[in-house]
Structure 1
Amino acid sequence: MSDVKKVVLAYSGGLDTSVILKWLQETYGCEVVTFTADLGQGEELEPARRKAEMLGIKPENIYVDDLREEFVRDFVFPMFRANAVYEGEYLLGTSIARPLIAKRQIEIARETGADAVCHGATGKGNDQVRFELGYYALEPGIKVIAPWREWDLNSRTKLLDFAEKHQIPIAKDNRGEAPFSVDANLLHISAEGKVLEDPWETAPEYVHTRTTAPEDAPDQPTRVTIDFERGDPVAIDGQKLSPADLLAKLNQLAGDNGIGRLDIVENRFVGMKSRGVYETPGGTILLAAHRAMESITLDREAAHLKDELMPRYAKLIYNGFWWAPEREMLQALIDKSQEHVTGQVRLKLYKGNVIVEGRRSPESLYSQEHVTFEEDTVYDQRDAEGFIKLNALRLRLSGRQK
């Protein structure tokens, strides 16, 4: 890798990536391009630009891109069409952001003539896999630099010492041990490590930053109606919103009502178990609403097939295979299933709960005249006898053996 001339670094402006920036310049003697993605993490990103300039990066080599609409429209919404949930609980908030970051890094590498890309993920986690699978899928010949797998700065003390030696500004709260590691975007915020490492210990309340504690949520419920078109949400209470604005609105409604908290131990792709405390407020509403919309618009076997394929699809995203052909094949099937998933869902939000109260659709397969308990003229109940006997035939033949 000694022949690296220019590298695109995924840069947050924090301690780790600022150290990485200087380390790249020292170790590889290469030109560095910084890329900071606004995915709705809720932080001011201009300080990252100023810090990169202070560390010697040319203004034309500093990218700070607002990717919020693309993130929700092209990554979050397609994933939610599948009702994707990893290991029964996790809504994949961190996982789904990585392929977009990788995509934009590769685009910037092409624009700037860079021959390498770099990320700040550690050698223990999933993100190193997600980033690098994305890089290689989109640019097979790209060189990848992963400092945490190369350098000897393997502790916070060493990082701080390196930063002081090279006059890299350190936020005051970084002076001591951080209580936990945080990752955030418009879909979710996650916390891992330190005070959360013992899975028996209750997560401190201060870990939660996007949701009110359910017991402190309003005593009166909030009611909301979501409009769907072909599987995607398009309006809240009749107001059309862009994908990013819609998810932000759902985040606010859910957060105020204590919705979207999750405390899990998950299985990382690299093999170890990890405890995480996640908040996915708007996504929790969206999942319940989308399934309700599908309940009256999807054919039974189509819905069941989707449910059978969903764990495979979710695992692909979790493990970093967004750009793999099998994920794209599954997406084509999922998107086909959404052609008639159009209509409205009415929900009640109350103290951590999302309760579906109503659903309607111009494409509905729900037939009240068929299911009524009153007299009808469309269904002959005597037909059920033959249906049952045919389905029972193999059971009766098997029963004779016993």
Structure 2
Amino acid sequence: MKEKVVLAYSGGLDTSIIIPWLKENYDIDVIAVCGNVGQDDKMDGIHEKAIKSGASKAYVEDLREEFVTTTIYQAIKAEAKYEGKYLLGTSLARPIIAKKLVEIAQMEGAKYICHGCTGKGNDQVRFESTIAALDPTIKVIAPWRIWDIKSREDALDYAEKHNIPVIATKEKIYSVDDNLWHVSTEGGNIEDLENEHSKDIYKKIVAPEDGCDVAEYVEIYFEQGIPKKVNKKELDPVDLIYTLDKLGSKHGIGVVDILENRLVGMKSRGVYETPGGTILYEAHNILESATLDKETLHYKQVVSYKYGELIYNGLWHSKLREAIDAFIDTTQENVNGSVKLKLYKGNIKPAGIFADSPLYNQGISSFGNSEFYDHKDAEGFINLFTLPLKINAMKQNKNIISEIVE
């Protein structure tokens, strides 16, 4: 009886050629597994395509709700970004897909899992870290690290030779990853840093300058940091993301063009479209500004940066990530209420905060009189606050000391 390998299958260029390559180079049955994390336009016919490409069996698993509730919600609560910009669309999906690969490998009795990640990318680490954390007995086959195919052009030649239909061409050779949270585009002419990316590469959004000529308002309601309603209508997790994604898309919200530092040591340029995610992060950030005290908010910002790094680096199943989640969840206990935003041509403007228990008090914060704050109190506070500065100045300038003594 042949050994089995579970292949992370997307139906794209890389994984399409991996099926015949595995059959050519290993005496093994290939079980294709496609995790639906929101790339719905590619789901039709993918089972049939995998079988026609040589897979002995194929699974198409709907992972969208798990994707949202397990990873995306945690990222929103943490406001996690990599290097302050990237909303981690690819990084957040990989632990969910890899978990399903392990589950099916265990169910099928497969000793191997194969992925189509390149040897230069971050995804190989993300997949293999999850596999190692969930079942270290499973062995990994990574064709890009061992085969003779060295480029996407070579991959296209292989596909043509083996009569494998693919969408990519040598003229349109961008590497695209999309899901319900984002679209990332890499490769092609954006690898030259001197080139401005063309709006023709956008898959989710219209270019900001081509957004609607009329501004639009949206109100988002949160419970303990988790979005629950859009414009007072309660939505299930997946529909909520789709709703905000469509809204942000038509207003050109959420595109970033960044040169990031990959885990494997090189820099890489990517264009990311995250319309709904950008709206949610902004709304959550605004609500937190009214509901978290200064010290907690500032420390959370430090922790959020580290949280983003952990996700990006494939360490979703680390103890540190779990520990940070415990801290983040504590900070979200009071993050309840609604935020109103104004969307217009790529911009998001605050248009109202309706927190259930805000720490902001207009009576105290306004310039008028308040029984809780006397302007005269500021003098004593400033004297104590600036005491270290005065002492330092005295140490540096003996003339000041003599004047004080006299």
How far did 1:242 drift?
A: 1.1
Matching residue within 78, 84, 89 for 1:82: 78
Task: Answer yes or no: is the 8 Å Cα contact 2:288–2:335 preserved in 1.
Answer: yes
CA distance in 2, matches of 1:175, 1:237: 42
Corresponding position: 1:153 with 2:149:
yes
1:25-174 pair list within 5 angstroms: 25-58=23-56, 61-166=57-162, 168-171=163-166, 173-174=167-168
How far did 1:304 drift?
A: 0.5
Matching residue within 3, 6, 10 for 1:5: 3
1:250-329 pair list within 5 angstroms: 250-329=244-323
CA distance in 1, matches of 2:160, 2:391: 80
Corresponding position: 1:234 with 2:228:
yes
SS in 1 for 2:256: strand
Task: Answer yes or no: is the 8 Å Cα contact 1:4–1:116 preserved in 2.
Answer: no
Q: Which runs of 5+ in 1 are unaligned?
A: none
SS in 2 for 1:301: helix
Give the aligned partner of residue 177 of structure 2: 183
Q: Which runs of 5+ in 2 are unaligned?
A: 397-406
Q: Higher mean Cα deviation, 123-132 or 386-395?
A: 386-395
CA distance in 2, matches of 1:160, 1:307: 44
| Identical residues among aligned pairs (%) | 49
How far did 1:315 drift?
A: 0.8
Corresponding position: 1:194 with 2:188:
yes
CA distance in 1, matches of 2:178, 2:314: 18
How far did 1:303 drift?
A: 0.4
CA distance in 1, matches of 2:24, 2:179: 31
Task: Answer yes or no: is the 8 Å Cα contact 1:348–1:356 preserved in 2.
Answer: yes
How far did 1:192 drift?
A: 0.6
Task: Answer yes or no: is the 8 Å Cα contact 2:19–2:55 preserved in 1.
Answer: no
Give the aligned partner of residue 362 of structure 1: 356
One-letter code aligned to 2:143: P
SS in 2 for 1:347: strand
One-letter code aligned to 2:140: V
One-letter code aligned to 1:30: I
Instruction: Spell out, residue by residue over 1:308-346, the C-alpha distance to the aligned partner (whole angstroms, 9 max, x if none).
Output: 111111111111111111111111111111011000000
Q: Higher mean Cα deviation, 29-38 or 224-233?
A: 29-38
CA distance in 2, matches of 1:356, 1:199: 34
Distance 1:157 1:389, change over 3 A: closer
CA distance in 2, matches of 1:368, 1:110: 59
Task: Answer yes or no: is the 8 Å Cα contact 1:4–1:115 preserved in 2.
Answer: no
Matching residue within 203, 207, 216 for 1:213: 207
Q: Higher mean Cα deviation, 15-24 or 220-229?
A: 15-24
SS in 1 for 2:40: coil
SS in 2 for 1:369: helix
Between the two proteins, the alignment pairs up a number of residues equal to: 396
How far did 1:385 drift?
A: 2.7
One-letter code aligned to 1:263: D
Instruction: Spell out, residue by residue over 1:16-55, the C-alpha distance to the aligned partner (whole angstroms, 9 max, x if none).
Output: 2122112222222112211101111232313220012223
One-letter code aligned to 1:196: I
Task: Answer yes or no: is the 8 Å Cα contact 2:53–2:164 preserved in 1.
Answer: no
How far did 1:358 drift?
A: 0.9
Give the aligned partner of residue 404 of structure 2: none
How far did 1:302 drift?
A: 0.7
CA distance in 1, matches of 2:205, 2:154: 35
CA distance in 2, matches of 1:257, 1:174: 28
What RMSD, in angstroms, separates the aligned Cα atoms of the two structures? 1.7
CA distance in 1, matches of 2:358, 2:132: 43
SS in 1 for 2:170: coil
CA distance in 1, matches of 2:154, 2:316: 35
Instruction: Spell out, residue by residue over 1:333-385, the C-alpha distance to the aligned partner (whole angstroms, 9 max, x if none).
Output: 11111011000000000111011111011221111221122222222333333
Instruction: Spell out, residue by residue over 1:237-289, the C-alpha distance to the aligned partner (whole angstroms, 9 max, x if none).
Output: 00101111111111111111111111111111111111111111111111110
One-letter code aligned to 2:5: V
SS in 1 for 2:343: strand
TM-score for the superposition, normalised by structure 2 = 0.93
How far did 1:162 drift?
A: 3.7
One-letter code aligned to 2:244: L
One-letter code aligned to 1:126: N
Distance 1:156 1:350, change over 3 A: closer
Task: Answer yes or no: is the 8 Å Cα contact 2:19–2:54 preserved in 1.
Answer: no
CA distance in 1, matches of 2:169, 2:344: 40
One-letter code aligned to 1:342: N
Distance 1:389 1:20, change over 3 A: same
Instruction: Spell out, residue by residue over 1:54-112, the C-alpha distance to the aligned partner (whole angstroms, 9 max, x if none).
Output: 23434xx3110111111111111101111111112111111111111111111111111
How far did 1:175 drift?
A: 5.0
Distance 1:155 1:305, change over 3 A: closer
CA distance in 2, matches of 1:169, 1:392: 72
CA distance in 2, matches of 1:162, 1:255: 36
Give the aligned partner of residue 15 of structure 2: 17
CA distance in 2, matches of 1:10, 1:97: 13
